Structure 1
Amino acid sequence: MTARKILPPIGARIIKSSAAVALCMMVYYIRTHLPVGNGIPFYSALAALWCLQPSSDTAKHNAGQRSIGTFIGALYGLIFILLLRIIGITEAMRVYLLASLMIIPVIYLTVVLD
């Protein structure tokens, strides 16, 4: 007769992950009832799961890194949109190509600042 495997208990990290996703979904639900717009809860839930780490030090580091990256990306995005309007580029393929190239300094700056 074979011995049955005992399943490991559900740990605190799994519970925290579930709570983080639930919080993201609640914020999404509240936002759908406010005039601020909808958004997509998938990305916030994914970010919450990515930031949850085994220790609080790594979680803080990842959250800080993500915040800095978001700020830098938003700043570069604003500059990109303003430059497109000033220069007058409207052709979709050119915009996509320039956006793809603009990612290089954005990612590089976040790496340098880390």
Structure 2
Amino acid sequence: MDVARLLLSGPRGRRLCLELAMALDPGVREMVFQHGYDLDPGRGSSRIRLVAFAREDEPHDPAQNEPTGIDGLVDRLISLGAFEVDDASVASPLVRSVDTARYWQEPDGEDCSLPSQKWGRR
């Protein structure tokens, strides 16, 4: 089994890949934040979201028109393409992946964002 398939086969490996993608593209981080909240089992009770709204006279961000949901996130991740990973670039994402592991309770919304079957369909 190649390294990519091995990483994507388990929740911590998928989270590591997601953390790497979020480090590469702030747009991925925003989509994961939005989508992760929607999937989080603690949504509205143990996890809340505060949002700031722009005034009408402020310029519109065209990134807000991008597809949302799991399909939009997967498309955005695929658009990143392949990239080189070295020890320095993987250190912080690895720490974040381990720090978010909560084996004694349900996974959070970000961990639910990338179920393995979605990766297999593309």
TM-score bracket relative to the smaller structure? under 0.3
TM-score, normalization by structure 1:
0.25
**Structure with the greater relative contact order (CA < 8 A, sep ≥ 6): 1 or 2?**
2
More helix by share: 1
TM-score, normalization by structure 2:
0.24
